[in-house]
């Protein structure tokens, strides 16, 4: 009996030593729960992205009447675009959220500046509106085509030379990407400064301020000529700010130089946007053709006698 009992206990003992799938899953889940959970939103590259947004919004606040302050804040926001990519590689914190945040910030800030240029140069408004549409459409189509055709794990910057040599060079060469984006923004900043400084582009600057209006401005606020007061006025809508912004206080020489130097790169950037839009459209069309063939489309109708 003792032997039989021991033999009956043998299988049960062996069964207890074999881990059940459910218990193994629970143990793996518990081990995963013990690991510290990362907060993607507070990764260093994303913090830099939030700083870019704050600076961009501040530049928009000063944009109507404070060209120096606006240009400074806007330029710093654009330059931080290179720093967040470096931080992502250094801290190993590259994320999809960060990539989308970076692209959305770029598109929105450029669009806001072009909207102001449309109001500053009404005769050229349709051109600026076209640039906004091209920029948004090109990058949206490219991003969507990458996700739909390349897969969720493929970055929109991973462009093979077989698809497009110019896009591959643009996205894979960090120096080319930085210079193209920086000089593209520099051209629009130059136009923005010229709207405050060049009577050639803004004939309204030639208009004389009436004596009564000039006296009201002088009585309403005393203009401090210090550098800090010119950069950061008490209010961008004050009479003093209006006098500083519209009385041709900015020399148009350097804005013209910046516009002349950056114009070829800006034009090339628009060509790249067109190529990107066309290539993304063709890539999506190729996927549609394969999907229709897999579904047996178009269905051939049986010939009737």
Under DSSP, the state recorded for 210 is P
Q: Is 115 exposed, middle or buried (0-12, 13-18, 19+ CB in 10 A)?
A: middle
Work out the mean pLDDT of the chain and round it to a whole number. Answer: 82
DSSP 109-125: HHHHHHHHHHHHSGGGH
Return the biggest CA–CA distance within the chain.
Answer: 122
**pTM of this prediction?**
0.77
Q: Is 265 exposed, middle or buried (0-12, 13-18, 19+ CB in 10 A)?
A: middle
Residues 204 and 196: their CA atoms lie apart, in Å, by 10
Above 90 in pLDDT, residue 199?
no
Contacts of 72 (CB under 8 A, 6+ apart): 231
The H or E element containing residue 61 is: helix 44-62
Query: pLDDT: is 34 or 172 the higher one?
Result: 172
Using DSSP, state whether 141 is helix, strand or coil. Answer: helix
Residues 252-269: pLDDT tens digits?
Answer: 899 999 999 999 999 999
Are 49 and 105 in contact by the 8 Å Cβ rule? The answer is: yes
Sorted by where each starts, the structural domains of the chain and their CATH numbers stand as 40-209+247-289 (1.20.120)
Q: Out of 81, 84, 106, 135, which one is annotated catalytic?
A: 106
Above 70 in pLDDT, residue 82?
yes
Above 50 in pLDDT, residue 30?
yes
- What's the pLDDT band for 229 if we cut at 50, 70, 90? low
Residues 221 and 241: their CA atoms lie apart, in Å, by 9
Using DSSP, state whether 238 is helix, strand or coil. Answer: coil
Q: Is 288 a catalytic residue?
A: no
Above 60 in pLDDT, residue 6?
no
Residues 146 and 284: their CA atoms lie apart, in Å, by 9
Per-residue model confidence (pLDDT) at position 5? 46
Above 90 in pLDDT, residue 200?
no
Residues 40-55: pLDDT tens digits?
Answer: 999 999 999 999 999 9
Highest mean pLDDT among 90-104, 161-175, 186-200, 259-273: 259-273
Residues 264 and 249: their CA atoms lie apart, in Å, by 28
Q: How many CA atoms lie within 13 A of 208 on its CB side?
A: 3
Residues 76 and 79: their CA atoms lie apart, in Å, by 5
Contacts of 174 (CB under 8 A, 6+ apart): 85
Residues 125-183: pLDDT tens digits?
Answer: 999 999 999 999 999 999 999 999 988 788 888 898 888 999 999 999 999 999 999 99
């Amino acid at each position: 009996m003792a032997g039989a009992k021991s033999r009956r206990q043998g299988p049960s003992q062996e069964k207890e030593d074999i881990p059940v799938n459910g218990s193994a899953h629970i143990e793996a889940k518990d081990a995963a729960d013990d690991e510290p959970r990362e907060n993607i939103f507070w990764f260093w590259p994303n913090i830099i992205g939030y700083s870019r947004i704050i600076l961009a919004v501040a530049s928009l606040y000063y944009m109507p009447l404070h060209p120096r302050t606006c240009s400074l804040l806007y330029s710093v926001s654009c330059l931080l675009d290179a720093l967040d990519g470096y931080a992502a590689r250094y801290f190993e914190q590259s994320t999809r959220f960060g990539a989308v945040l970076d692209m959305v910030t770029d598109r929105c800030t450029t669009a806001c500046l072009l909207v102001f240029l449309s109001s500053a140069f009404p005769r050229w408004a349709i051109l600026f509106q076209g640039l906004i549409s091209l920029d948004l459409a090109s990058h949206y189509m490219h991003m969507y085509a990458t996700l739909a055709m390349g897969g969720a794990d493929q970055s929109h910057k991973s462009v093979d030379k077989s698809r497009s040599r110019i896009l591959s060079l643009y996205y894979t060469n960090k120096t080319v990407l930085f210079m193209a984006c920086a000089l593209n923004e520099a051209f629009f900043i130059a136009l923005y400064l010229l709207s405050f400084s060049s009577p050639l582009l803004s004939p309204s600057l030639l208009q004389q301020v009436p004596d009564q209006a000039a006296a009201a401005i002088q009585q309403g606020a005393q203009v401090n000529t210090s550098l800090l007061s010119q950069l950061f006025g008490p209010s961008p809508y004050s009479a003093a700010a209006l006098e500083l912004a519209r009385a041709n206080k900015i020399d148009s020489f350097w804005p013209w130089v910046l516009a002349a130097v950056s114009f070829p790169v800006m034009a090339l950037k628009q060509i790249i946007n067109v190529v990107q839009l066309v290539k993304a459209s063709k890539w999506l069309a190729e996927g549609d053709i394969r999907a229709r063939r897999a579904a047996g489309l178009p269905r051939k109708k049986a010939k009737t006698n």
